[in-house]
Amino acid sequence: MSFSKLYSSSNFNKNFALRNDLSLQARAIHIINIFRFLLSLIFLTFYVFADKLNLSDSGNNPHLFLSLALSYALFSITLLAITQLKSPALIFFHPVQIVIDILFVIMMMYAAGGIQSGLGLMLILTIVTASLVSNGRLALFYAAVATIGLLLEQSYRITKWDIPASSYTQSVMLSLSCFATAWLAYSLAKRILQSEALASSRGVDLENLAQVNELITQQMQDGVLVIDKDMNIRHYNSQAKLLLAFEKNTSDGLALRDYAPAIANVLLYWVEGNDEYENLIIPINNRELNLHIEPVNPENRMLGAVVFIQDWSKIQAAAQQAKLAALGRLTANIAHEIRNPLSAISHANQLLQEEENLTESNARILEIIEDNIERINQIIKDVLELNRRDRTQQEKIALNRFITDFHTQFCAIQKIPPTHFVLELCPGLDIITFDRRHLTQIFWNLCKNAWEHGRKEVGSLHLNCRQSVKSTPNTHTGFSLEVIDDGAGISEEDRNRLFEPFHTTKTTGNGLGLYISRELAEGNDARLYYQPLQHGSAFILELKNTN
């Protein structure tokens, strides 16, 4: 979302607020129409109980009152029917309807005996409701129309019935009441308009702010979860959806315990005041996620929290790649520079070994030189292999046949009895997509390490193939290859540095075998990891690229 879209969205919000205001006016007019219909029913009821209300006294006109009541009822029913059309023109013709209401009330008041009938109070109610609907703009106009009508009605009665002029007092007082009511309604409507304008402006600002916040969170590389006090997810961005494997049709207001129970447990401990859970790395969906929790209200953690989620494995991989790139450039240059003098040293050493009068001590020294030359040359080969991770030539490999051929070759070269190296082939179809040379090197490094650290007895070395089902949106079957030995295992302090380059526990090792094996595995979309056993160790190659 760009800021130009955000600006257009702001204009849309203002237009929407205007349309919403018109919609509110239309609903208010509909309510007034219902009130008008109920008022006509009241007039008809007034006529039914005419005897009890002294409607038949001199100066009253019951037949005119009935005719006006029926006409008013017909008028209200007509407006109710027209209102269902939801035409915008009804809003603009609303003042005409109010003027007709005032005239009807004044004529009915005349038919009921004048201002003594008490129907004049209906004028005040009509003016108030009409003024609020029109936002106070026509309040004084309605009061003026009512006043003119009241004075004309009273003047007509005085002229026709020879009533004393002092009877104007009640009409004047009612007229003043109409103006006072209209002024109060105007003031109230003006204040309501100001409040609505302020609320609308704040609503637009809040909407824009929400859109900016959403834009920022959606572009963040970290996952973001907003959790309320009831442990429900109020908001999450696309990265959180990816890391937590939310379904596509999920929406806000989700229960955190249903969709991310591990995070829910951590959050419960954090709410209780355990700060060690504020920044924690936990495994979720075969990923190591780093959680950083911030409270919505620093003074009360119970009110909710914002959880920032980082893919720790990706961060480690990025750091490792940067480290690999720098290391690769440096070591490749050094390796090429070392190979030339190393070849000269090796050639000179071979010439010295061909001397006839060579003493036993000198021969031993020359053997030591040759062994170290081979060791240095192997280090150079391993270092140069670091740059070949991305240059894979994947092909379809029949896994069972490959494992069988590797077993035969490895046992022959390493001089291992076949009974000491046990195979367990894959069940069913075993076709994988992998770089054959990389897979051979991975198995060779793992099996060589396992044999060197094992007891070298019958069954000391195992190569097992397991079939596994991945719980992913696109569920598929994969294979896991396990290289197991019966040695003493790996200590806790060495496990964290197990796959670091140049870290080794052997006096003759260079510490690149496991590191290169893992890099080659990841280059072929596979995963290599260590799993401790009760007796021995297991290195598991998890194959993702299968057919």
Q: What are the extents of the domains in the chain?
A: 3-203, 221-310, 316-387, 391-543
Band of residue 11 on the pLDDT scale cut at 50, 70, 90: very low
Strands 304-311 and 287-295: antiparallel
74-83, 212-221, 339-348: segment of lowest average pLDDT: 212-221
Angle at which helices 168-219 and 139-161 cross, to 10°? 160
Please give the share of the chain, as a percent, with pLDDT higher than 90.
Answer: 1
pLDDT at 197 over 50: yes
Instruction: Determine the Cα–Cα distance for residues 482 and 463; give it in Å rounded to an integer.
Output: 6
Mean pLDDT across the stretch 342-369? 83
The answer on pLDDT for 352 being more than 60 is yes
Report the C-alpha gap between 112 and 126 in whole angstroms: 18
Kindly tell me the sign of the dihedral angle through the C-alpha atoms of 480, 481, 487, 489: negative
The more confident residue out of 304 and 371 is: 304
pLDDT of amino acid 35: 81
pLDDT of residue 3: 39
Report yes or no: 227 and 234 within 8 Å, Cβ to Cβ.
yes
Phi/psi for 391 (5° steps) reads: -95, 70
pLDDT digits (tens, 9 = 90+) for 448-488: 888 888 888 888 898 888 876 554 444 455 778 899 998 88
How far apart are alpha carbons 123 and 189 in whole angstroms?
A: 18
| In the predicted structure, residue 19 carries a pLDDT above the cut 50 | no
Query: Out of 2.60.40, 1.25.10, 1.10.287, 2.40.10, which CATH number does the structure's domain 316-387 have?
Result: 1.10.287
Q: What is the mean pLDDT of the chain?
A: 78
Q: How confident is the model at residue 252 (pLDDT cuts 50, 70, 90)?
A: low
pLDDT value, residue 474 = 47
Contact 127, 181 (CB under 8 A): yes
Same fold, 316-387 and 391-543: no
According to the model, what pLDDT value does residue 386 have?
61
Q: Are 426 and 399 in contact (CB under 8 A)?
A: yes
Model pLDDT, residue 9 = 44
CATH topology assigned to domain 221-310 = Beta-Lactamase (3.30.450)
State the Rg of the chain over Cα. 46
Range scoring the smallest mean pLDDT among 44-58, 231-245, 459-473: 44-58
What's the rounded Cα separation, in Å, for the pair 311 and 63? 86
Could you tell me which residue, 166 or 95, shows the higher pLDDT?
Answer: 95
Over residues 106-130, the pLDDT tens digits come to 888 888 888 887 788 888 888 888 8
pLDDT of residue 291: 83
Rounded to 10°, the helix 94-111/62-83 angle is: 160
3 state SS of 15: helix
- Two tokens at 444? 């060779």
pLDDT at 231: 85
Q: What pLDDT, on a 0 to 100 scale, did the predictor assign at position 198?
A: 85
What CATH architecture is 391-543?
2-Layer Sandwich (3.30)
Looking at the DSSP bridge assignments, the partners of residue 398 are 431
The pLDDT tens digits of the residues spanning 316-329 come to 777 767 776 776 67
Q: Which amino acid is at 502?
A: F
CA–CA dist 467, 430 (Å, integer): 9
**What does the pLDDT read at residue 388?**
58
pLDDT tens, residue by residue, 482-521: 999 988 888 777 777 777 776 676 656 666 778 888 888 8
254-293 pLDDT, tens digit per residue, is: 788 887 888 888 888 888 877 766 667 777 777 778 888 8
The predicted structure's pLDDT at residue 13: 45
pLDDT score for 385: 65
**Strands 421-424 vs 461-470: parallel, antiparallel or unpaired:** parallel
* CA-to-CA separations, 64 to 49, 70, 104, 208, 330, in angstroms, rounded: 15, 10, 12, 60, 110
- 523 or 402, which is more confident: 402
Split at pLDDT 50, 70, 90, the class of 2 is very low
- DSSP letter string, 54-120: TTTSTT--HHHHHHHHHHHHHHHHHHHHHHTT--THHHHTHHHHHHHHHHHHHHHHHHTTGGGGSTT
8-state DSSP, 467: E
Whether the CB-CB separation of 75 and 25 falls below 8 Å is answered with no
The set of long-range contacts for 136-139, using a CB threshold of 8 Å and a minimum separation of 24, is 136/185, 136/186, 136/187, 136/188, 136/189, 136/190, 136/193, 137/189, 138/95, 138/98, 139/182, 139/183, 139/185, 139/186, 139/189
Q: What is the pTM of this model?
A: 0.41
pLDDT computed for residue 74 by the predictor: 92
Helix crossing, 360-385 with 312-353: angle to 10°? Answer: 150
3-state secondary structure 115-139: HHHCCCHHHHHHHHHHHHHCCCCCH
- Report the C-alpha gap between 341 and 519 in whole angstroms: 29
